[in-house]
C-alpha cells in the first residue's frame, strides 16, 4: 500500500445528538444534518471531500493514460434503433423514420429523421445545443401518428423532473407549448394530432424540489396551443396519494389504456376509456393489485396482455372487454421454461422477447399462440427493439454482448431474414476476448448463473484483478451488454464478472421475490457467493477483487462490505441506498417500500436494520479501499445516503486503505449524463482500482 495513503486526512464531519426510537430500538443518526444538500455546512463538507478525493485521484500516474484510452475507444459512431411513424394518409403525408446517432464523443445523442432509409438524414433535435456542458438531456419523446409533430421531454443536470415541448418535424421549429412538473411520464398522442396524454405532479417548492416526496400524480390531456393551466384532468385519485398513472392510446386510436402503478411493485391495475366517445367513463378492467399486466395491443374490444398472473415467468392472455370476467379470459401463449420479458405485435403476429439463463431469445407466434419460428441471433447476448405497428412487415432490433458493440439489424417479418443496418467500428479486436457462463451455488444451495469475460489466455493463478458487478433488485434483469469502460478494464488485464443474483427478473417473479423485503439477505449471500467462487476457482484473490454496483446495486455493495470487509480488496458503491431506515422520506423513495419494506412497520424494521449499510459500520474495522460516488442533483436516491455513509465509514475505518467520496456536480442519478462526465468518472474509477488492487499493465 503506498505510504501516502496512510497520511490521508479526511474532512471533519461534526456529529449531532440525533436519536430516533424505532419500535423501542434507539438508533443514533449523528449525520442527519447532511440530509440538507443546500445548507452552507453541507456545501463546505462537499467541497472538502471533493478536494481530498480529486487530489488523491489526480496523483495516480495511470489516470491520464486510462482517460486517453477511454476517449479514443469511445470515439465511434453509435446508432439507436430506427422507428417510424406516419402512413399514406389522405392529406398526402407519408411515413418517416427516426433514429438517434452519436458521432462518438458528443455529450448527448442527436435525433434524426428521414423519409426513406436511403435519404440524407436531417437533424430533428440536437440536445447538445441546449446547454454548453451537455447537462440538458432528452428524457422522452413521442411522435404523432401522422409523423408531423414531436413531443419531447428535457431533463436538466440529471434530475427526474422534466419539461415537455412540441416541435414541428418538417420545419424543426418549436410550437408555443411548454409543460412543467412532469416526472415518471411519457406522452401519447390522440389520432386527431391535436394533443396528448401525460402525467404530472403539483408544482413543488422550488427550494426543496430535489428532496421532497412525490405524491398525488395526475393523468392529464394537453391540447396544442393552450396553456398548461387549461389542460384537462383525465384521472386522479385524491384518496390514493401513492398511485401513479401511465396513459397510452391504442394503435387504432380508440382507447386510452391507463396503467396504475403503486411504487416500484410490479403489480398494477388497468383501466381504460373510449376516447371516441366524449361521454365515456373510465372503466376499471383490472382493479386488484394481484399481478403485472403489460398491454400489448388490441383487436377491437379484445385486449392482449403479457401477465405473470398464475405464471411467474410470464404468459400472454386475451381479455374481451365486452365480457371481461376473469373466467372468460383466454390464454394465448402459455408460460414456458424461459422468462417472457415483453411482447409486441408485428405482421399480425406476436414477437415475444424471452430470457434464457439471462440472455435473449426471440420467438414469433401467430395470434392464436401457434409457434412460427425463433429469430436467429448472432450469439449469446441481448436483443432489443422489434417495435412497430400491427401490420408492419419490417422492424429493427439491436444486438449486443460483452464483446459486440450495439449492432442494428433490419428484420423482415415475412421471410425471417436479418440484415445489418448499422454496425459500429470500435478500435479493438473482439476475437481476443472470451465470455463464458458459469453456475455456482449460493449459501442456501440456490443455483446462480454468472457471466465472466476477459482476454483469452489468462492464467487461473489467483492474481487477476477482477471487477464483480451486480444489481439484485426491482425485477431488473442483468444481461450481456457492450461497454467501452469495461473493455478498457479488460485491456488492462482485468476480469469482468456479472452474476445474475436473486432480486432480479432473470427467472421471473419468483426469482425477484426471493430477494425482496425479509429475503433481501439472499441477494447479499448470492453476491458474496460469487466472490468466493471466483477466489476458489483461482480467477482472483481478495487483494485483487473489487465489487461494484449502482443505486440498488450501491446498497448491495454497501451491505457486502459491512458484512464481509475481509473478502474484498476494493469497493465502488455508486448512488447507493445506504440508509434503509429513512429512504422512504425523500422524493420517490416511498415507492421502494414494496421492494424493501419500511422501518415504520414493526414487522419489517428488524430485517432492514440488520443489513442497512449505514447502521452496520463497525468502529475500528479495516474496510476495503472504497470510492463512493454520488451526485448533488440526484433526486432519485438523494445524495444524503452516500454523504452519511462516507462520514460514518471514514470515522470507523481502522485500515490504511482510502475511503473516499466523489461528488459529481450538475449531475443526477445517471440518466442523461453527458459523455464527458462519463469518461471522467470511468477514468477515476479505474485509476482508483489500479492503485487499490496494484494492477500492472
Active-site amino acid positions: 551, 669
DSSP 3-state of 212: coil
**Burial letters 426-449, b for 16+ CB under 10 A, else e:** beeeeeebebeebebebeeebebb
Vertex 51, ends 47 and 57: CA angle to 5°? 140
- Rounded CA-CA distance 222/214 in Å is 21
Instruction: Return the H-helix or E-strand segment holding 90.
Output: none
Torsions phi, psi for 447 (to 5 deg): -85, 125
Residue 290: is it exposed, middle or buried by C-beta count within 10 angstroms (0-12/13-18/19+)? middle
- Rounded CA-CA distance 198/409 in Å is 32
Q: 94, 124 in Cβ contact below 8 A?
A: no
Instruction: Give the three cell numbers for residue 411.
Output: 428484420
Q: 339, 507 in Cβ contact below 8 A?
A: yes
Neighbours of 560 (CB within 10 A): 27
Instruction: Return the H-helix or E-strand segment holding 20.
Output: strand 19-22
CA 228 to chain centre: 29
Tell me how far CA of residue 225 lies from CA of 48, 97, 165, 176, 204, in angstroms.
49, 26, 11, 7, 24
Tell me how far CA of residue 542 lies from CA of 495, 538, 548, in angstroms.
14, 11, 14
- Rounded CA-CA distance 128/113 in Å is 17
Q: What is the DSSP letter of 513?
A: H
Residues 6 or more apart whose CB falls under 8 angstroms from that of 535 comprise 462, 541, 542, 545
What length does the chain have? 697
- Rounded CA-CA distance 415/3 in Å is 66
Nearest partner of 659 among 578, 571, 574, 556, judged by Cα? 571
Tell me how far CA of residue 355 lies from CA of 340, 480, 516, in angstroms.
7, 11, 21
Instruction: Give the three cell numbers for residue 187.
Output: 406522452
Characterize the bridge pairing of strands 625-631 and 570-574.
Answer: parallel
Residues 6 or more apart whose CB falls under 8 angstroms from that of 318 comprise 302, 303, 304, 305, 329, 330, 332
Residues 6 or more apart whose CB falls under 8 angstroms from that of 370 comprise none
State the residue for C-alpha cell 381504460: 272
- Rounded CA-CA distance 596/579 in Å is 12
Nearest partner of 462 among 534, 566, 569, 541, judged by Cα? 541
Helix axes 675-692, 62-74, angle to 10 degrees: 140
Q: 640, 583 in Cβ contact below 8 A?
A: no
Q: 588, 562 in Cβ contact below 8 A?
A: no
Amino acid at each position: 500500500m503506498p505510504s501516502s495513503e496512510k497520511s490521508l486526512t479526511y474532512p471533519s464531519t461534526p456529529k449531532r445528538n440525533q436519536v430516533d426510537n424505532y419500535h423501542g430500538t434507539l438508533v443514533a443518526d449523528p449525520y442527519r444534518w447532511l440530509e440538507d444538500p443546500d445548507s452552507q455546512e453541507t456545501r463546505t463538507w462537499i467541497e472538502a471531500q471533493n478536494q481530498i478525493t480529486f487530489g488523491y485521484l489526480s496523483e495516480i500516474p495511470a489516470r491520464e493514460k486510462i482517460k486517453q484510452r477511454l476517449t479514443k475507444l469511445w470515439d465511434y459512431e453509435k446508432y439507436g434503433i430506427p422507428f417510424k411513424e406516419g402512413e399514406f394518409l389522405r392529406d398526402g403525408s407519408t411515413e418517416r423514420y427516426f433514429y438517434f446517432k452519436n458521432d462518438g464523443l458528443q455529450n448527448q445523442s442527436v435525433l434524426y429523421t428521414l423519409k426513406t432509409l436511403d435519404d440524407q438524414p436531417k437533424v430533428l433535435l440536437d440536445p447538445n445545443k441546449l446547454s454548453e456542458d451537455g447537462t440538458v438531456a432528452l428524457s422522452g419523446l413521442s411522435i404523432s401518428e401522422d409523423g408531423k409533430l414531436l413531443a419531447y421531454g428535457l431533463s436538466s443536470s440529471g434530475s427526474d423532473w422534466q419539461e415537455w415541448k412540441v416541435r414541428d418535424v418538417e420545419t424543426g421549429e418549436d410550437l408555443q407549448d411548454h409543460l412543467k412538473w412532469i416526472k415518471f411520464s411519457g406522452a401519447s398522442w390522440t389520432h386527431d394530432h391535436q394533443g396528448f396524454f401525460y402525467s404530472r405532479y403539483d408544482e413543488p417548492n422550488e427550494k426543496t424540489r430535489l428532496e421532497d416526496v412525490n405524491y398525488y400524480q395526475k393523468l392529464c390531456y394537453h391540447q396544442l396551443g393552450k396553456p398548461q393551466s387549461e389542460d384537462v384532468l383525465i384521472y386522479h385519485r385524491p384518496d390514493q396519494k401513492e398511485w401513479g398513472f401511465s396513459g397510452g392510446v391504442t394503435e387504432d386510436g380508440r382507447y386510452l389504456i391507463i396503467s396504475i402503478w403503486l411504487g416500484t411493485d410490479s403489480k398494477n391495475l388497468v383501466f381504460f376509456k373510449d376516447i371516441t366517445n366524449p361521454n365515456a367513463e373510465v372503466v376499471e378492467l383490472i382493479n386488484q393489485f394481484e399481478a403485472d399486466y403489460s398491454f400489448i395491443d388490441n383487436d377491437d374490444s379484445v385486449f392482449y396482455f403479457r401477465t405473470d398472473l398464475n405464471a411467474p415467468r410470464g404468459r400472454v392472455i386475451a381479455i374481451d372487454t365486452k365480457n371481461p370476467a376473469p373466467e372468460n379470459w383466454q390464454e394465448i401463449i402459455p408460460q414456458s421454461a424461459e422468462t417472457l420479458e415483453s411482447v409486441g405485435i408485428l405482421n399480425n403476429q406476436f414477437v415475444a422477447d424471452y430470457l434464457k439463463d439471462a440472455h435473449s431469445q426471440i420467438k414469433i407466434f401467430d395470434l392464436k399462440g401457434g409457434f412460427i419460428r425463433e429469430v436467429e441471433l448472432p450469439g449469446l447476448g441481448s436483443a432489443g427493439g422489434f417495435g412497430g405497428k400491427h401490420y408492419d412487415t419490417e422492424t429493427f432490433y439491436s444486438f449486443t454482448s460483452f464483446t459486440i458493440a450495439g449492432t442494428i439489424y433490419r428484420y423482415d417479418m415475412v421471410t425471417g431474414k436479418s440484415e445489418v443496418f448499422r454496425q459500429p467500428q470500435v478500435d479493438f479486436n473482439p476475437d481476443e476476448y472470451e465470455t463464458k457462463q458459469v453456475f455456482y451455488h449460493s449459501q442456501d444451495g440456490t443455483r446462480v448463473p454468472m457471466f465472466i469475460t476477459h482476454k483469452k489466455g489468462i492464467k487461473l493463478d489467483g492474481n487477476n484483478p477482477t471487477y464483480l458487478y451486480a444489481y439484485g433488485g426491482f425485477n431488473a434483469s442483468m444481461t450481456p451488454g457492450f461497454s467501452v469502460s469495461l473493455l478498457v478494464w479488460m485491456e488492462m488485464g482485468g476480469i469482468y464478472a456479472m452474476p445474475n443474483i436473486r432480486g432480479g427478473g432473470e427467472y421471473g417473479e419468483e426469482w425477484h421475490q426471493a430477494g425482496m423485503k425479509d429475503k433481501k439477505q439472499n441477494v447479499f449471500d448470492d453476491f458474496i457467493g460469487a466472490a468466493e467462487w471466483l477466489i476458489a476457482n483461482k480467477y482472483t484473490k481478495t487483494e485483487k477483487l473489487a465489487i461494484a454496483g449502482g443505486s440498488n446495486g450501491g446498497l448491495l455493495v454497501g451491505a457486502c462490505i459491512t458484512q464481509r470487509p475481509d473478502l474484498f480488496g476494493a469497493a465502488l458503491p455508486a448512488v447507493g441506498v445506504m440508509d434503509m431506515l429513512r429512504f422512504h422520506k425523500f422524493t420517490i423513495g416511498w415507492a421502494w417500500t414494496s421492494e424493501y419494506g419500511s422501518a415504520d412497520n414493526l414487522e419489517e424494521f428488524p430485517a432492514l436494520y440488520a443489513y442497512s449499510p449505514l447502521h452496520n459500520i463497525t468502529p475500528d474495522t479495516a474496510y476495503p479501499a472504497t470510492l463512493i460516488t454520488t451526485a448533488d442533483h440526484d433526486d432519485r436516491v438523494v445524495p444524503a445516503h452516500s454523504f452519511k455513509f462516507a462520514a460514518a465509514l471514514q470515522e470507523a475505518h481502522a485500515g490504511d486503505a482510502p475511503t473516499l467520496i466523489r461528488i459529481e456536480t450538475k449531475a443526477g442519478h445517471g440518466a442523461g449524463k453527458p459523455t464527458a462526465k462519463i469518461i471522467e468518472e470511468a477514468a477515476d474509477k479505474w485509476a482508483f482500482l489500479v492503485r487499490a488492487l496494484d494492477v500492472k499493465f
